[in-house]
Structure 1
């Protein structure tokens, strides 16, 4: 271990886990590894697997922000952190870790529908966030999304700032918005001004926000978006064409065979977002043998193996299935998400992970759209409201909500105090009834 390694604690108070901040939970400590652009190299995957075995209980989770976290960590915090840093999985300065919240498509640079490769801009933004002391004042949850116009794109997770590629007058621009998802824009800048725009937005936020306003949506409650934009020292295009633009909602699937501009990719998902060390090592091995050695994490708690050799894709998919990975969106478990539940969280009212497995076992393939099981009303494991939410009220008992844009929170209450069997009967519907 490096004797100069600082104490294994971030200098900033927060309940949000990070690499340098291991947060206590019922099942032990949680360490969140923020991956640049969601990219995890095969050797780094092996390092995470080893860390989960040596310093924790062997539970690895894919998050809905395209990161990884290790659960059940024991007393060896410093040793765990040094192990992950040695694998290149975080900055050597603790203050620069929290703010590395930049989300891309898992097919950034490869998606056949993309207008802009967002990877170079993402690298510039991450470098700026890590190396600019003033930006370390941002909340550990403050997040930026770069959307290159890909078909495989998360368009439902809200971000404090989003930038989305658009073609205007035969040229590529970046439309942008605040406190939401790629949709209608507040303005646009040339692609080459993306870094300057991001810096200007982050610095203006810090100029205007009170200590209680840690997120953009909170600032906009007292500061109109028009006033915010007017103070940006940039030339911003805000004509009718830009303000009338809206991001297409067309989306490709994220599991199974995926088309790249050249070649194929393979989307996989660990059941309910959880990996064992053996599963992660197996995925890394297949990424080396059949692909380019990358695992790209996604906001669907899944991953994409890129540049897969077409001659090896059938064998790769069979091996991944044998490891317990999901490769088909029709499988019920591929459409279920669940928070940690009472086995790992003191606030949860039910063992949601176990209940989700039970629920999936009684559902036919293709019977439902996305359903989230939440152990309490905080819904920590879901970045946006699912088409259907089962909210725990007691062990094995749930209230069923269906998403309704006209209603706050989870949506419309459909039924109360359901057993898992009763919930399964109500969820055994054609997907158009639970459309996401």
Structure 2
């Protein structure tokens, strides 16, 4: 569900945290109403075919059988039985999905999923991805990052640069990259180390201010001050850098269909059944790339006829292959029965009203409670379940009208949507 980025502000809004980060991981499971939950970090959303098969086996053997995609291109396994943590960790480790147990929750990296496949980017970010992951796992300081801290590697097209990451590296041509925060150009070869240096500087800045923070936006200091500290650290590390015009422009995530040397599908509400996962692995030749828009890109070289045949196979399994599908504009949290805090089965309600709501001007995001887990950062319609069994709709920033409309039950959602967008 592509969304625009929120506008930046010259002064970060302080947000000190009274407790530690409880974000789940592969080794730290979260207890939900449908069982334990594990979140497996997949830098850039990249899975080898063997790793994908291992995840599918783990989901079937230990969980509810499905694979749940997150807005960061990671995978969650749900419905895990109590006491299976050791067996899960062993399976993930054997598949190469736990290169560092001390860093497993901080390997949050999104990357342009079509990079190197469609000729649209300025640089293939895959070498950056491998180097950044290795540098993160080699950094003792990086272990202090929260499970919510996010890196973005953009190949220049502007897709993941608009996702509000804490540290963004964007290709700008001339074998260079733009680093944010820091607001400088660095050589492309230095980009991964520069990104880790920026994250380490954030940690030091938080410590010097005596605050516990999870994201760069939490820091109680002007953005320009953090930029200056990062430039000083780059200089000390011998990483050459210079100012220049900040890159502009943005792009959406990959549309469903055949795109360059790849096939792209959207996963309704981010939930992949065992059959759908198996079909993806059968179509994939080498790897899968999970996207931050709850989709999957499959590198695929072949004739037009072969691509059409593969897409038809994936569509028959229930994956979205039509770029006009209304599913591309709908997202939701897990809702009932998986979450005890949810006031409604928001996923079932979203599916029931899909045809009536059509393709609204802004994406819809359904939330079961006020926490709004997984909601997008850009402009969207907030569809919030209320304790009385109804919903409250409002237009979220940055283009919100300030209007709020209530719907007594899910059948009234289309009328409420028309009112909020009129």
**Would the TM-score normalized by the shorter structure come out above 0.5?**
yes
Q: Give the match's secondary structure for 2:403.
A: strand
CA contact (8 A) 2:378 2:397 kept: no
Q: Does 1:55 align with 2:62?
A: yes
Partner of 1:276: 273
> 1-side partners of 2:389 and 2:65: how far apart?
26
Q: Give the match's secondary structure for 2:300.
A: strand
Which string of whole-angstrom CA distances, capped at 9 and with x for unpartnered residues, describes residues 129-160 of structure 1? 11222211111111111111137x23432111
Partner of 1:176: 179
Q: Give the 5 Å matches for 1:66-105.
A: 66-75=73-82, 76-91=84-99, 93-105=100-112
Deviation of residue 222 (structure 1)?
A: 5.9
Query: For residues 193 and 319 of structure 1, do their structure 2 counterparts lie closer, same or farther at Cα, with a shift above 3 Å needed?
Result: same
Query: For residues 233 and 308 of structure 1, do their structure 2 counterparts lie closer, same or farther at Cα, with a shift above 3 Å needed?
Result: closer
Deviation of residue 80 (structure 1)?
A: 1.7
Query: For residues 27 and 395 of structure 1, do their structure 2 counterparts lie closer, same or farther at Cα, with a shift above 3 Å needed?
Result: farther
> 1-side partners of 2:102 and 2:25: how far apart?
11
> 1-side partners of 2:146 and 2:392: how far apart?
32
> 2-side partners of 1:66 and 1:135: how far apart?
20
For structure 1, the residue ranges without an aligned partner over 5 or more in a row are 1-11, 179-184
Q: Give the match's secondary structure for 1:394.
A: coil
RMSD of the alignment, in Å?
A: 2.5
Query: For residues 131 and 254 of structure 1, do their structure 2 counterparts lie closer, same or farther at Cα, with a shift above 3 Å needed?
Result: same
What TM-score results when the alignment is normalised by the length of structure 1?
Answer: 0.83
> 1-side partners of 2:294 and 2:352: how far apart?
20
Partner of 1:215: 215
Q: Stretches of 4+ moved more than 6 A in 1?
A: none
> 2-side partners of 1:425 and 1:266: how far apart?
36
Number of aligned pairs? Answer: 394
Partner of 1:150: 157
Which string of whole-angstrom CA distances, capped at 9 and with x for unpartnered residues, describes residues 237-257 of structure 1? 12xxx2x43321244642112
Deviation of residue 372 (structure 1)?
A: 0.5
Partner of 1:3: none
Which of 401, 407, 412 is the matching residue for 1:422?
412
Deviation of residue 395 (structure 1)?
A: 6.1
> 1-side partners of 2:162 and 2:368: how far apart?
22
Partner of 1:340: 334
What TM-score results when the alignment is normalised by the length of structure 2?
Answer: 0.86
Partner of 2:241: 236
> 2-side partners of 1:103 and 1:327: how far apart?
22
CA contact (8 A) 1:371 1:386 kept: no
Q: Does 1:45 align with 2:52?
A: yes
Q: Does 1:359 align with 2:353?
A: yes
> 2-side partners of 1:221 and 1:45: how far apart?
42
CA contact (8 A) 2:201 2:230 kept: no
Q: Does 1:195 align with 2:192?
A: yes
For structure 2, the residue ranges without an aligned partner over 5 or more in a row are 1-18
393-402 or 17-26, which deviates more: 393-402
Query: For residues 221 and 173 of structure 1, do their structure 2 counterparts lie closer, same or farther at Cα, with a shift above 3 Å needed?
Result: same
Deviation of residue 35 (structure 1)?
A: 1.3
Q: Give the match's secondary structure for 2:171.
A: strand
Q: Give the match's secondary structure for 2:233.
A: coil
Partner of 2:9: none
> 2-side partners of 1:389 and 1:309: how far apart?
41
